[in-house]
Amino acid sequence: MNAEHKNAFMKAIEEIGDDHLTSNAETPLRADAFDMSEEAKVEAIEYHFEKIMDTLGLDLTDDSLKGTPRRVAKMFVQEIFGGLDPAKEPKASTFENKYQYGEMLVEKNIVVYSTCEHHFLPIVGRAHVAYISNGRVIGLSKMNRIVDYFAKRPQVQERMTKQIVQAMQKALGTKDVACVIDAKHLCVNSRGIRDIESSTVTAEFGGSFKKDSVKRDFLDYINMKTTFDA
């Protein structure tokens, strides 16, 4: 991250404020969302996506296209929207903080692949998650899995940021959790205004992270150059 990007990043964080994220943190799902089996969903989406392709005038007898409706249906249900299924929520086991580590723990640069629920185009970016233990700790990979779980659904970035923090708070039994996401939205980058340079920054600060000094430490950790940075 160069100096110009870093300054813009820090300014964006400061301008967001604690009251920026006011949308409902629950993904809007119908009560019968899981009455249909996974295979039945694949078959239904396959049928409807074939109709979309046919409407666009594509030749579905072509070897390159004839399997596309099935591939897209399986991708939607089993992969990129797998986070809609509560049965797939990662088991966020925690452990006693036996080594008495009392500072914040930061897992930064977690890759985010999500989908904008407004245009069903990709959201691609990085999440930075931190917490301060109140006696329990969580496995590092579980933090990545929590991010991935909430990313794998049609999303609004603000909501995803809140969902990640709330899941971590619930698992750890503490409010002292924070998350910042910096991501590109292809609905902005590849269509409409087609601004390929802009990105969207969202943040959610809980508990101690609302204090300016703790928030600043977290942001400093995010911007710290590591051995593996390019």
From 46, 107, 116, 204, the catalytic residue:
116
- Count CB neighbours of 112 within 10 A: 23
| Paired tokens of 204 | 């959610």
Helix/strand/coil for 166:
helix
Task: State yes or no: is 128 an active-site residue.
Answer: no
From 107, 128, 185, 204, the catalytic residue:
185
From 43, 119, 166, 169, the catalytic residue:
119
The Cα 26–Cα 49 span in angstroms is: 27
Task: State yes or no: is 157 an active-site residue.
Answer: yes
Task: State yes or no: is 117 an active-site residue.
Answer: yes
Q: Could you tell me which of 190, 94, 97, 73 has the C-alpha nearest to residue 139?
A: 94
The Cα 54–Cα 4 span in angstroms is: 47
- Count CB neighbours of 130 within 10 A: 25
From 46, 107, 155, 157, the catalytic residue:
157
Task: State yes or no: is 187 an active-site residue.
Answer: yes
The Cα 102–Cα 188 span in angstroms is: 41
Q: Could you tell me which of 25, 15, 7 has the C-alpha nearest to residue 153?
A: 25
115 in Cβ contact with 81 (< 8 Å): yes
Task: State yes or no: is 78 an active-site residue.
Answer: no
From 43, 117, 166, 169, the catalytic residue:
117
Q: Could you tell me which of 147, 165, 187, 129 has the C-alpha nearest to residue 25?
A: 165
Residues 6+ away with beta carbon under 8 Å from 216: none
Task: State yes or no: is 179 an active-site residue.
Answer: no
From 128, 155, 163, 187, the catalytic residue:
187
Task: State yes or no: is 48 an active-site residue.
Answer: no
Q: Which amino acid, one-letter code, is at 174? A: T
Q: Could you tell me which of 185, 183, 179 has the C-alpha nearest to residue 167?
A: 179
Catalytic residues: 116-119, 157, 185, 187
